[in-house]
Structure 1
Amino acid sequence: MLNFFSVKKPTRSIFFQRFFSSTKPRIYVTRVLPDQAMKILDQYFEYDVFRGNSAIPQDTLIKNVKDCVGLLCLLTDPINETVISHPNFSKIKMVANYAVGYENVNVAKLSELKIPVTNTPGCLTEATADIAMSLILATHQRFLQHDQALRSNQNGTILNFQKDTQDLNLDPLCNKTLGIVGLGRIGQALAIRARGFGMKILAYTRTPRPKISQRIGVEELTKMDDLLQYSDFVSLNCPCTEQTKHLIGMEQLKMMKESAILINTARGKIVVEDDLIYALKKRIIKAAGLDVFYNEPKINPELSKLQNTVLLPHIGSATTRARAGMGILAAQSLVDYLVHKKWPKNFVNKDIFIK
């Protein structure tokens, strides 16, 4: 008979270490997050993380999500029916998307399976509004073209003042009208910035916000067609949904002024990209400033050839504060639901579970 007391017992610290490590929920993370977020994950989860710099291959995601109850993914990671229907995905209880938008996630399918999805709203409002305002300035003043011309000037002198002045033919921004499509957090933040430049602000939004519009000095229009016709700049600041996908195509581009400029810091699929390229080539509109693209992370090479574009590599959240805030919110959402068994504030399909 085995004498229980003759068995060497582990020390208290080793016992608790083994106990708690074995009871931590297991999750998979598709990219290394800012340190503040990783520290939260270290405390509460067992996890593996994809350490590549590009989007995770689908087969790698499927392989590594096996036996995990949570998934923390990026906008570039399609969580589609192929992934969701795979046996390796069967234990997943929650998906946290490291982005405000979540069109990369098949929310409808996950809702059928009673799997909650969260996003990271509010963290990148100011950063994205800064990028949108920067694109307005860059396209209006043709900063890139002037920079390139100056760098290529063999004589190393300032360009011909008379010729340069004739080519510009610009009014100051205070004489221009900005039309904002989508008056959420980012749209409102952009309006406040544009007002600082003295611009007139129009807005079209599916949900009227008269009190907010009055407070920030925005004139709401009931028809997007009117906004397109009257605006010198059209900034897209709405989410990409079934209703807004391909919202801007050739018909809408032809409504805009020939001198108008399209700004998109929202999602590439809101615009029919081939139509936009054609409109820019044929000067149906003057220019475009884009931080997002239809087939991200790939970019249509035809856009790169155009001189009347300013293209940025989706840096609307590219501040330390924004990226850290998004990571913390995504990580804490997993902690709230999987560890503390409570509802995070940022469920995108919360109505499926709480009625």
Structure 2
Amino acid sequence: MTPPIALVVGPIFFEDAKWQALAPEVTLKEYRKGTREEFISLLKSGTFDGAEAIFRSNESTAVTGPFTEEIVSVLPSTVKYICHSGAGYDNIDVEACTKRGIQVSNTPHCNEDAVADLTIYLMIGALRQITRPNNALRAGKWRGTIVPGHDPQGKILGILGMGGIGSGVAKRAEAFGMKIQYHNRHPLPSTSTTHPSATYVSFDELLSTSDVISLNLALSHGTEHILGAPEFAQMKKGVVIVNTARGGLIDEEAMIRALDEGKVFSVGLDVFENEPHVDARLLGSEKVVISPHIGAATVETMAAMERLVIENIKSALFDGKLLTQVHEQLVKS
């Protein structure tokens, strides 16, 4: 019996041995480096014909760009599964995949601790406006002009999206003496033990009463620019914004105006609206604490995500089902 074929697109950082161990039961093909144009050309030429499953990651976007309809439409007709390493998968056109009968999986939960940790790091840094003294010190000016920051104790943290990451942020923030409130499309069940001390509030109440707002929700058509000019207008003067989810959740122009006007005290950002291109005004602002989308970039987290991708591939090829199929497709099935 001819073994099934799996294709990896982009790098595997920590679990390459497990990928290689799929052989000989699985025939392995690879496209680890190259360009979007070359990848599309190879797809059209039939180089990857017969592939049933594809291993890709957020990092592979640097190789091929996002899996838009342009790529999905020229994938081999044999492709049944795209197994993605990453909790977020907005760089895959799931609708286009669904129309072609391609099932998509992601790696939920693997990154929750790492992203929650980074969220707290950015939050504390933003509360203290840590970029300002850091810049002064590096410029040989010792402290420079001190702008006193704020303590987290007693502050109200509003979490948009109380999923696994949001819950992790809440748990950590509570240790700093913060009061936790959150908003989801629906409140957590009263029987939930995820974070029983957190209070569910409406979206408008969260905006108007929070001292710090953390975005921990997925980017979709319904959440794009969930924070824009009208939302900033509702917030307390001196609010702190932290975003470790997706840059498109915030209208950056509106946020920059709010920073300039003093409505927003500071922001902590790991994600950006047009990444990898970052607005120069954010890069140059001492009110901004910044990192380059590294929320899941720990050895432990990346290795766990890669292992789950490989388990998804094995389950798909030999049992005909994905272990962690994306929500949109489960709802439609």
**Please, what TM-score do these two structures have when normalized by structure 1?**
0.83
Does residue 57 of structure 1 match 2:40? no
SS of 1:174's equivalent in the other structure is coil
Note the C-alpha offset of 1:343: 1.8
Correspondent of 1:144 among 131, 134, 139: 131
CA distance in 2, matches of 1:302, 1:151: 20
Correspondent of 2:55 among 72, 86, 89: 72
Contact kept in structure 2, 1:32 and 1:49, CA below 8 Å: no
Which residue number in structure 2 is paired with residue 26 of structure 1?
5
Worse-superposed segment, 274-283 or 246-255: 274-283
CA distance in 2, matches of 1:326, 1:63: 29
Note the C-alpha offset of 1:124: 0.5
Which residue number in structure 2 is paired with residue 132 of structure 1?
119
* One-letter identity of the residue aligned with 1:335: K
Which residue number in structure 2 is paired with residue 275 of structure 1?
254
| Distance change in 2, residues 1:112/1:174 (3 Å) | same
SS of 2:186's equivalent in the other structure is coil
| Distance change in 2, residues 1:69/1:314 (3 Å) | same
| Distance change in 2, residues 1:99/1:195 (3 Å) | same
Contact kept in structure 1, 2:8 and 2:32, CA below 8 Å: no
Paired residues, number: 319
SS of 2:191's equivalent in the other structure is helix
* One-letter identity of the residue aligned with 2:191: K
Structure number with higher helix proportion = 1
| Distance change in 2, residues 1:273/1:110 (3 Å) | same
| Distance change in 2, residues 1:62/1:331 (3 Å) | farther
Does residue 46 of structure 1 match 2:34? no
5+ residue gaps, structure 2, are none
Runs of 4+ in 1 over 4 A off after TM superposition: none
Note the C-alpha offset of 1:128: 0.2
Alpha-carbon displacement from aligned partner over 1:280-307 (angstroms, at most 9, x marks no partner): 2222311111101112222222221222
Correspondent of 2:200 among 196, 201, 220: 220
Alpha-carbon displacement from aligned partner over 1:180-226 (angstroms, at most 9, x marks no partner): 000000000000000000001110011210333784410111x2111
* One-letter identity of the residue aligned with 2:267: A
Alpha-carbon displacement from aligned partner over 1:112-156 (angstroms, at most 9, x marks no partner): 2221000000101000000000011111112222122123235xx
Worse-superposed segment, 135-144 or 28-37: 28-37
Which residue number in structure 2 is paired with residue 12 of structure 1?
none
| Distance change in 2, residues 1:352/1:85 (3 Å) | farther
| Distance change in 2, residues 1:34/1:300 (3 Å) | same
Q: CA RMSD in A?
A: 2.2
Does residue 84 of structure 1 match 2:72? yes
% identical aligned pairs: 29
SS of 1:175's equivalent in the other structure is coil
* One-letter identity of the residue aligned with 1:114: G
Alpha-carbon displacement from aligned partner over 1:9-58 (angstroms, at most 9, x marks no partner): xxxxxxxxxx8xxx333232222213325423442433343444xxx632
SS of 1:212's equivalent in the other structure is coil
5+ residue gaps, structure 1, are 1-18
SS of 1:40's equivalent in the other structure is helix
Which residue number in structure 2 is paired with residue 116 of structure 1?
103
Contact kept in structure 2, 1:188 and 1:216, CA below 8 Å: no
CA distance in 2, matches of 1:329, 1:320: 14
* One-letter identity of the residue aligned with 1:107: V
CA distance in 2, matches of 1:80, 1:59: 13
CA distance in 1, matches of 2:331, 2:185: 23
Which residue number in structure 2 is paired with residue 262 of structure 1?
241
* One-letter identity of the residue aligned with 2:7: Y
SS of 1:90's equivalent in the other structure is coil
Which residue number in structure 1 is paired with residue 229 of structure 2?
250
- Equivalent residues in 2 for 1:1-355, closer than 5 Å: 23-44=2-23, 45-52=26-33, 57-65=35-43, 66-67=48-49, 68-75=51-58, 76=61, 77-86=65-74, 88-153=75-140, 159=143, 164=146, 167-168=147-148, 170-209=149-188, 210-212=190-192, 215-221=195-201, 223-338=202-317, 340-348=318-326, 349-351=328-330
Which residue number in structure 2 is paired with residue 10 of structure 1?
none
Note the C-alpha offset of 1:244: 0.8
Contact kept in structure 1, 2:9 and 2:30, CA below 8 Å: yes
| Distance change in 2, residues 1:185/1:143 (3 Å) | same
CA distance in 2, matches of 1:203, 1:105: 28
Contact kept in structure 2, 1:195 and 1:201, CA below 8 Å: yes
| Distance change in 2, residues 1:329/1:69 (3 Å) | same
CA distance in 1, matches of 2:331, 2:118: 35
| Distance change in 2, residues 1:135/1:299 (3 Å) | same
